[in-house]
């Protein structure tokens, strides 16, 4: 095998490893929908007794928030920047599940971005997503 072929294979393999390391897994959209708050609290308390406070952090980190898309077409991206890869689109009126929020590139005066979990993990500019209920937690 030529040096050029080996180098190409090495570069491609490295890119795949890097992509796998930074790409989140497919989301489970109904983490908290099957249990009531009292069940979550009692489960957290029982986990907390046997494993320190892991259970409380684990349970609280699973809460999903809801939002509604206000843009006619919203590009959902791989990173919280307008120059990153478009993963999919969301449309006006669509209800989306929000995992958390983070600061990112400013979009029309708003620097917040939401990490959405609807089938894929993708970032949407908060400028074009209105919260339904409480504001999402920070990532």
CATH number assigned to the domain comprising residue 77: 2.30.30.40
Q: What is the pLDDT of residues 31-74, one digit of tens each?
A: 433 333 434 443 434 333 333 333 333 344 568 999 999 999 99
Better-predicted residue by pLDDT, 118 or 79? 79
Instruction: Find the domain containing 128 and state its range.
Output: 65-132
Residue 108 domain flag: yes
26 located within any domain = no
pLDDT at residue 119 greater than cutoff 80: yes
pLDDT attached to residue 6:
54
Rounded distance, CA 26 to CA 21, Å? Answer: 14
- pLDDT tens digits, one per residue of 87-118: 999 999 999 999 999 999 999 999 999 999 98
pLDDT at residue 132 above 90? Answer: yes
Say what the pLDDT of residue 76 is: 98
Q: Which residues, including other chains, have CB under 8 Å from residue 22's CB and lie 6 or more apart?
A: none
Domain assignment present for residue 7? The answer is no
pLDDT band at 19 (very low <50, low <70, confident <90, very high): very low
Query: Dihedral, CA atoms, 94, 110, 113, 30, nearest 10 degrees?
Result: -40
Number of domains in the chain: 1
Would you state the pLDDT for residue 26? 40
- H-helix or E-strand spanning residue 105: strand 95-107
The confidence score (pLDDT) of residue 14 equals 53
Q: Does residue 2 lie in a domain region? A: no
Is residue 43 domain-resident?
no
The whole-number pLDDT of residue 63 equals 85
Please determine, for residue 27, whether its predicted confidence score (pLDDT) is greater than 80: no
Question: What per-residue confidence (pLDDT) applies to 9?
Answer: 62
């Amino acid at each position: 095998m030529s040096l050029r072929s080996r180098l190409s294979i090495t570069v491609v393999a490295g890119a795949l490893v890097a992509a796998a390391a930074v790409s989140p897994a497919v989301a489970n959209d109904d983490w908290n929908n099957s249990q009531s708050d009292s069940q979550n609290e009692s489960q957290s308390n029982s986990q907390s007794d046997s494993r320190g406070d892991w259970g409380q952090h684990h349970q609280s980190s699973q809460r999903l928030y809801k939002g509604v898309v206000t843009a006619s077409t919203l590009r959902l991206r791989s990173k919280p920047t307008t120059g990153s890869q478009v993963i999919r689109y969301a449309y006006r009126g669509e209800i989306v599940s929000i995992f958390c929020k983070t600061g990112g590139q400013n979009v029309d005066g708003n620097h917040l971005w939401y990490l959405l979990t609807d089938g894929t993990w993708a970032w949407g500019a908060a400028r074009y997503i209105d919260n339904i209920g409480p504001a999402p937690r920070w990532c």
